[in-house]
Amino acid sequence: MTNLILPHGSNELNTLYIEDEMARSSMLSASAEMRSLEINSAAAANAVMMAAGYFNPLTGYMNKEEALKVSREMLTLNDIFWPVPIVNITTDANSLDYTHGEEIALKDPNVEGNPVIAIQRIDNVEKLSDDDIEIIVKNVFGTTDVNHPGVKNFKDQGKYIISGPIEVLNYSYFPHDFPNTFATAPDIRKMLTKAGWSKTIAFQTRNPMHRAHEELCKMAYERLEADGVLIHMLLGKLKEGDIPGDVRDAAIRKMVELYFEENTAIISGFGFDMMYAGPREALLHAVFRQNAGCTHLIVGRDHAGVGDYYEPFEAQEIFDLDIVRDSLKIEIFKADHTAYSKKLDKVVMMRDAEDHSKDDFVLLSGTKVREMLAAGQELPPEFARKEVAKILMTYYQERS
C-alpha cells in the first residue's frame, strides 16, 4: 500500500463536510429556524476548503486575536503554523446581536437562491478597527494599496469578524460546474493511492497551461524522479481578465491528453477564490497540497502574485524561514521563468540558459496573447500547443 505524506497539523484529515445524508438533511431543516447571514465569496470559499479537508486542521473561522496573530506570526492561537487568516467577515452590523453559542445559517452568495452552505456556532462577533485591517493586509499582502485586488477584496468584506466552528452542508457550485474536476483532499489522496504514487508534485494554476508550464511540470517530474504530477487548478473567483475555469479546464485536459505520457499526470481542481497574496499564498498552496497527499509543490517566478507587488522569487524565499521549514513536510521545487529558447530549440528555465539575451526566447505578455487570440491570430507553436490555442481562441473570439 502507498504511504502518503501526513496532513498538516494532525495525523488524519479533519473534513468539516457532513457526510451522513440524514444528518445533513436534518441540519438543513433545522437551519430554517435559525437566524441567517449571507456571507461573502471569500468566506464561502473558506467554508468549502475546510469542508474538503484542504484547510486541515482548522475547525472553523478565526477570531480577531487569531487573525492578527496569524497575519503577524503565521501561527494560530494553539501555535500551529498557518500563513493567512481564515475568516468570516461581514458588513452586517446586525451580526453584533448574535449570542455566544448561537447557531446561524450561512448562506451562499455564489449560488442562485442563496442556499445554506454551512451552520456556524458563534464563539464571538468582534469589530475590526481600521488599524486591525491595516495590520492584516500589510502582513498578508505585503501592501495596503487598494489597487491590489486582494487588498481591495479584503477591505470590501466589512469590519465585523464572526468566529466559531462550522459544519458544512455542501461544496457550493463547484461539483455542479466542474463535475469531473472538483475534488476534495481525501478524494485526491485516494487517487494517489490508486495510482501507486508516493512522490507527487503539485502544480498550481489559475491560467491555461502553455508550453512553458507543460515543460516545467515535466522537468520537475524528471529531476525529482517523481511518480507523477497533480495539475491542480483553482476553480473559484478570479480578477477581471483572467480566463474562466471551464475554458481553462478544457485547455489543460487537451494538453495532458495529447502531450503527457500516460499515468504521469492527474488533473483536478479546488474550490477557492484567488487572493493574489504572493509569498503568503504560496505557503497556503503548500499547506493544502500537503493535506492532499503531495510531497512537492512547484513554486515559480512571482507565484500567486499580481502586478509588481512582489519580488520575482519572494514566494520561494519565504520557504527558507525557520518556521516554515520546521512546520511543513511538503518541499518545493524552485522554478525560474520558463520559455522556449530559439538557440537551443527547446523549452528551458531561463536561469539554465547561458549566453542568452531576452531576444533569444519566445516571450509573449498576457496582454499580447489575449490580443492575438481575440484577433484570430495563431500563437507561435513554441509558445502554445495548437490544440490548446484553438480552445482559447474560440473563447476570446466569442467574447469579442
| Residue numbers annotated as active site | 206-207
Output DSSP code: residue 358. Answer: G
CB atoms within 10 A of CB 367: 9
Residue corresponding to grid cell 494517489:
192
- 339-346: list long-range contacts, CB under 8 Å, 24+ apart: 339/212, 339/363, 340/211, 340/212, 340/380, 340/382, 340/383, 342/382, 346/215
- What is the grid cell recorded at 366? 498576457
* CA–CA gap between residue 64 and residue 284 (Å, rounded): 20
Phi first, then psi: what are they for 130, rounded to 5°? -60, -35
**Residue of 370, 238, 284 lying closest to 70 (CA atoms):** 284
**Residue of 38, 336, 278 lying closest to 151 (CA atoms):** 278
176 Rama class: left (phi>0) / alpha (psi -120 to 50) / beta = alpha
**Collapsed DSSP state (helix, strand, coil) of residue 369:** helix
DSSP strands (E only) in the chain: 35-38, 60-61, 89-90, 103-107, 116-121, 124-127, 160-168, 200-205, 228-234, 265-270, 296-299, 331-334, 338-341, 346-349, 361-362
Phi first, then psi: what are they for 56, rounded to 5°? -55, 135
* CA–CA gap between residue 107 and residue 116 (Å, rounded): 4
Give the rounded distance of the alpha carbon of 369 from its chain centre.
24
- Give alpha helix (H) positions in 178-278: 185-195, 211-223, 245-259
Crossing angle (nearest 10°) for helices 386-399 and 366-374: 70
